[in-house]
């Protein structure tokens, strides 16, 4: 493993992306948009999953870097469009992690994994409600692959007691 200061390295990486997309940078990099990079983000995510499935740690390290590249690309595009910056991305993530882990950061209590998941879902539900989303299904991203989308919808329904072992239970309902 490489022994570096992650803060300095991250800052250098952000500067590298800004150079690549800057006035004297790479024409391809400068032309990219959120829309043009959508498939890259998905592809890099699937390549990351493949590295995990193959237990290939070297490749996993590289693929995680490629996913990070996509995050930095989108953040730089957004910054140039006066939408948000990488600092906003980091702040929002930190805020979410602290908010969704009150047992660690506020209450200082120990929870089982199942309790943590339940707590996470409850907090997520409260956040969706505050954003005006009223249906439990509003939190399921419609852009997921069909099978994954259907599975998430089914799990949401099951969490509200709408899950049966056979068709008879459905018919009774």
Domain span at residue 81 reads 1-90
Burial class (CB in 10 A: 0-12, 13-18, 19+), 21: buried
So what's the pLDDT on residue 93?
Answer: 96
Q: Is residue 139 in some structural domain?
A: yes
Q: How far apart are CA 88 and CA 154, in angstroms?
A: 33
Examine the pLDDT at 82 and tell me if it is beyond 90.
yes
- 13 with 85, same domain: the answer is yes
Examine the pLDDT at 11 and tell me if it is beyond 80.
yes
Q: How far apart are CA 147 and CA 55, in angstroms?
A: 25
- 22 with 45, same domain: the answer is yes
Residue 147: which residues within 8 A CB-CB, separation 6 or more?
A: none
Q: Is residue 105 in some structural domain?
A: yes
- 172 with 105, same domain: the answer is no
Q: Which of 58, 90, 122 is the last residue of a domain?
A: 90
pLDDT tier at 144, thresholds 50, 70, 90? confident
Cα 64 → chain centroid? 13
Q: Is residue 95 in some structural domain?
A: no
Given a contact cutoff of 8 angstroms between Cβ atoms, the answer to whether 17 and 76 are in contact is yes
Tokens matching residue 3: 């022994």
pLDDT digits (tens, 9 = 90+) for 84-135: 999 999 999 999 999 989 999 988 888 889 888 888 888 877 877 677 666 6
Domain count, the chain: 3
Residue 29: which residues within 8 A CB-CB, separation 6 or more?
A: 20, 21, 73
- 70 with 123, same domain: the answer is no
- 86 with 161, same domain: the answer is no
pLDDT digits (tens, 9 = 90+) for 53-78: 999 999 999 999 999 999 999 999 99
- 78 with 12, same domain: the answer is yes
pLDDT tier at 148, thresholds 50, 70, 90? confident
Q: Is residue 26 in some structural domain?
A: yes
What CATH number has the domain bearing residue 20? 1.10.287.1080
- 80 with 2, same domain: the answer is yes
Return the higher-pLDDT residue of 145 and 47.
47
Residue carrying structure tokens 């690549």:
20
Q: Is residue 29 in some structural domain?
A: yes
Q: How far apart are CA 165 and CA 167, in angstroms?
A: 7
- 6 with 57, same domain: the answer is yes
- H or E segment and range at residue 160: none
Q: Is residue 104 in some structural domain?
A: yes
- 84 with 10, same domain: the answer is yes
**Mean pLDDT lowest among 45-54, 103-112, 161-170:** 161-170
- 48 with 28, same domain: the answer is yes
What is the model's pTM? 0.76
The pLDDT mean for the chain works out to 88
Q: Is residue 169 in some structural domain?
A: yes
Q: Is residue 146 in some structural domain?
A: yes
**Mean pLDDT lowest among 6-15, 72-81, 106-115, 148-157:** 148-157
When pLDDT is averaged across residues 146-169 and rounded to a whole number, the result is: 74
């Amino acid at each position: 493993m490489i022994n570096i200061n992650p803060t300095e390295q991250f800052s250098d990486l952000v500067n590298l992306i800004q150079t690549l997309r800057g006035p004297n940078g790479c024409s391809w990099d400068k032309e990219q948009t959120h829309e043009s990079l959508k498939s890259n983000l998905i592809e890099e995510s699937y390549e990351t999953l493949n590295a995990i499935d193959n237990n290939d740690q070297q490749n996993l390290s590289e693929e995680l870097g490629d996913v990070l590249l996509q995050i930095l690309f989108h953040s730089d595009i957004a910054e140039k469009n006066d939408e948000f910056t990488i600092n906003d991305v980091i702040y929002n993530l930190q805020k979410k992690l602290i908010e969704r882990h009150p047992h660690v950061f506020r209450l200082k209590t120990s929870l089982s994994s199942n309790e943590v998941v339940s707590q996470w879902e409850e907090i997520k539900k409260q956040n969706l409600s505050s954003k005006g989303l009223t249906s439990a299904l509003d939190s399921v991203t419609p852009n997921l692959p069909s099978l994954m989308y259907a599975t998430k919808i089914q799990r949401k329904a099951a969490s509200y007691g709408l899950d049966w072992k056979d068709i008879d239970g459905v018919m009774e309902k």
